[in-house]
Structure 1
Amino acid sequence: MLQASRVTRALIFDLDGTLVDSLPGITASVNHALHHAGFSSHTESAVRGFIGNGSRILIERAVPSGTSTSVIDQVEAEFKRHYDANWPLGTSPYPGIPELLAGLKSKGHPLAVLSNKPEPFTLAIVNALFPNAGFSAIVGQRNGIPHKPDPRGALEIAAEIAIPAENCVLIGDSTIDIQTARAAKMTSIAVGWGYHDAERLHQERPDHFVQSIDELAMHCA
């Protein structure tokens, strides 16, 4: 458990696989874009392994090996078009997350979101599903900010909310989140209910590993 302190801790959350289960919606849009290009579809289990590095790498992993850059561009554009219109059909908060955020907000913790999902989707999902969470910063994939595990997005959030990086906690379901926290000199909490296997998370040596919302609340208090 994080030691009790008078220092204000900022809590920076990953989005997909941490705050929301977006796998059904992502899978539907990936398969729509693949079908549109004449490619075969994937199971949710397969798409689960593609998620985490942004939409471009998601599509690069989904299309057949050797697919040309121009075709990947088309598939990614179709994925984004379909996802923009349909993400609400396959995206929902994990049970207990809204209550967790409300409790953390009431304790005075600044809250933020850092995602490798394109920023327009990140903003739309967070604002629609967590309208009362009071996030101090929301950062997604955009030009000028490299993907996690590059620490610049995390450090931008720390600067925006005026909390030193060493007083920030980065919470996510992937090895990328752990690596980002380490590079930014932030505390890392890995959650076990997302899209990365627990063994892989343990191998990356997060500062803390939690398997339930209640356990996460204890570490964040």
Structure 2
Amino acid sequence: MEIANAPSARTDAGALSRIDAFVFDLDGTLLNTLPDLVALTNAVLRECGFPERTTAEILSFVGNGVKALMYQAVPADADEEAVEGAMDRWKELYPQYGHKLTKAYPGIPETVAELKRRGAKLAVLSNKFDAGVQDVIGTYLPGLFSVAHGERADIPRKPDPAGLLRTIAELGSVPERTAYVGDSTGDVAVARNAGTLAVAATWGYHDVERLRAAAPDLLIDAPGDLVGLME
């Protein structure tokens, strides 16, 4: 575990020992959903008569919800109606492709279970559409989180802090006692905006040096590092 930002009041031993809540990003942090996202997105593109995208391209589109994903995946000259149609079809096909290839990252189930055993308050906040969040959490990490939110009308996309602040309140904690754990610079930004500890996970989708440049409070290489925050 690396203190990636300049030492601060958030990262002194006393502050870290007071962490009692962990809110997690989903895709790229808890679960590797990329193979399914690639398969589903390319199925929609083929059906709509658009060229397929590479895994690297689709990875670069991930993180800001389905709408942003499809707007970037379709050709730049596609009209609004075509984009909306592709997005609707993506959601229609999700139950078919949803998470057949998805896997929890090594150490995630054990770490989350141990945090829960130690009394941590646990939640998920993702830019994935809400039904998809409920689906994969219920399948791969059932019974571990008290609160799980994805994007919907009353939960704005990160880095808007409103969803994170609501999640923390629902857990019965406060930002100063909460760690937000994610694999992207947007996750660092939402933690900053909400006033939580910003924990960047290096095992996910995003470049480690870009994460370090975003100045999270902590940079961790393994899920088990989180348990140390409760010791």
- CA–CA distance in 1 between the matches of 2:76 and 2:203? 30
**2:148 paired residue among 132, 135, 138:** 138
Residue in 2 that maps onto 1:35: 46
Extract structure 1 runs of 4+ deviating beyond 3 A: 4-8
Residue in 1 that maps onto 2:5: none
Change (3 A) 1:8 1:193: closer
**Can you list the C-alpha shifts for 1:41-60, whole angstroms capped at 9, x where unaligned?**
11212111110000000001
Task: Decide whether the 8 Å contact of 2:122 with 2:171 is kept in 1.
Answer: no
Residue in 1 that maps onto 2:130: 119
Q: Percent identity?
A: 37
Change (3 A) 1:142 1:204: same
What secondary structure does 1:47 align onto?
helix
- CA–CA distance in 1 between the matches of 2:59 and 2:216? 21
**TM-score between the two structures when normalised by the length of structure 2:** 0.91
In structure 2, what residue type is equivalent to 1:166?
Answer: E
Change (3 A) 1:182 1:95: same
Change (3 A) 1:75 1:167: same
- Mapped pair 1:94 → 2:105: yes
Residue in 1 that maps onto 2:162: 152
> How far 1:85 moved relative to its partner?
2.1
> How far 1:69 moved relative to its partner?
1.0
In structure 1, what residue type is equivalent to 2:158?
Answer: K
> How far 1:88 moved relative to its partner?
2.4
- CA–CA distance in 1 between the matches of 2:54 and 2:226? 30
In structure 1, what residue type is equivalent to 2:198?
Answer: S
RMSD: 1.5
Task: Decide whether the 8 Å contact of 1:168 with 1:186 is kept in 2.
Answer: yes
**TM-score between the two structures when normalised by the length of structure 1:** 0.95
Residue in 2 that maps onto 1:190: 200
- Mapped pair 1:176 → 2:190: no
Change (3 A) 1:163 1:26: same
> How far 1:35 moved relative to its partner?
0.5
**Can you list the C-alpha shifts for 1:164-196, whole angstroms capped at 9, x where unaligned?**
111111000000100000000000100011111
- Mapped pair 1:199 → 2:209: yes
Q: 1 or 2 for the larger relative contact order (CA 8 Å, sep ≥6)?
A: 2
- CA–CA distance in 2 between the matches of 1:218 and 1:67? 49
Count of matched residue pairs: 220
Contiguous gaps of at least 5 residues in structure 1: none
Residue in 2 that maps onto 1:68: 79
Task: Decide whether the 8 Å contact of 2:32 with 2:102 is kept in 1.
Answer: yes
**2:120 paired residue among 96, 109, 113:** 109
Task: Decide whether the 8 Å contact of 1:10 with 1:110 is kept in 2.
Answer: yes
**Can you list the C-alpha shifts for 1:16-43, whole angstroms capped at 9, x where unaligned?**
0000000000000100110011011112
> How far 1:140 moved relative to its partner?
0.4
- CA–CA distance in 2 between the matches of 1:48 and 1:211? 20
**Can you list the C-alpha shifts for 1:90-123, whole angstroms capped at 9, x where unaligned?**
2111111110111100110000000000000000
- Mapped pair 1:23 → 2:31: no
Contiguous gaps of at least 5 residues in structure 2: 2-10
In structure 2, what residue type is equivalent to 1:67?
Answer: A
In structure 2, what residue type is equivalent to 1:161?
Answer: L
